[in-house]
Amino acid sequence: MQTVKLNNGVTIPQLGFGVFQMDDLDECYQAVTEAIKAGYRLFDTAATYGNEAAVGRAIRESGIPRDQFFVTSKMWIQDYQGTRPQKAIDQSLTELGLDYIDLYLIHMPYGDVFNAWRAMEESYQAGKLRAIGVSNFSPDQVTNLMLFNNIKPAINQLEVNPWNQQQANVLFNQRQNIQVEAWAPFAEGKNQIFTNKTLQQIAQGHHKTTGQVILRWLMQRGIVVIPKSVHQKRIQENIDVFDFSLSETEMQLITKLDQQTSQFFNPHDPEAIETIVNGGRPGANH
């Protein structure tokens, strides 16, 4: 498995496994178990997904040493205020059944993010969290957070896929030595992404699937990626991306597919923000 080193020296696998929308805990447990067997060691969950317990159980029952896994979870908006952040961190540890979390993120850039971040800094310094970061933050929001706090985010988890390539945002984070991690790499199948002619032609040339080409494209951009599937064949397929490379020409062909638009929600739209803060899920609320 390829790895990358975060700005605090912690190493993270470049390819992992996401569990968003795996609401059935038995299904989540089985999917994570299959992913572990296939070779995945990075697992991404969140408090709001409601499946931390299933992820933790699969890891604990795998028989593989804890230090070989990289576990990510996230704090939800309603836990940013007052003393709630520390309680949220401890609750995630309890749900996961783990002594520490490898990466803990602020899930959305709304509400009292400074209060949440300072609690995360304390837990990081106490050894409960090996790295801390953010999710869905724009460059101005990342800059604001960095200027008034002590620890720079190790990761910014963003929606990145062929339809929404986030060229400027990715470049900003890379220049700041903040690792970009892509959620919804397949855009959840929107706009017939798996049957796109450009992606299909590239895939045929490498005897791969369009999904494998998308993952390879992201990894060659230096991005950590966390595809999700509950199907054993696709779980295995998604990790089988280390035996080929895309040419510069192929990378540029995919670049031309960029629609520069979120496939799920506009994080700057007031109505979308209000929906999210009030507990709704506009599109893929990763």
In the annotated binding site, the residues are 107
- Distances in whole angstroms, Cα of residue 127 to Cα of each of 81, 99, 121: 22, 9, 10
Q: Which of 49, 80, 104, 124 is the catalytic position?
A: 49
Please name the residue that has the structure tokens 């670049």. 255
Query: Are residues 40 and 55 in contact, defined by beta-carbon separation less than 8 angstroms?
Result: no
C-alpha 132: how far from its chain's center?
13
Enumerate the known binding-site residues for substrate: 107
Strand order, beta sheet including 70-75: 17-18, 42-44, 70-75, 103-106, 132-135, 155-159, 179-183, 224-225
Please name the residue that has the structure tokens 């939800």. 76
Residue 211, token pair as written in the block: 């999904």
C-alpha 83: how far from its chain's center?
26
How many C-beta neighbours within 10 Å does residue 150 have?
A: 10
Q: What is the DSSP letter of 16?
A: -
Task: For residue 80, indicate whether it is catalytic.
Answer: no
Question: Measured between alpha carbons, how far is 29 from 48 in angstroms, rounded to an integer?
Answer: 17
Which among 103, 210, 105, 88 has a CA at the least distance from the CA of 161? Answer: 210
Catalogue the active-site residues.
49
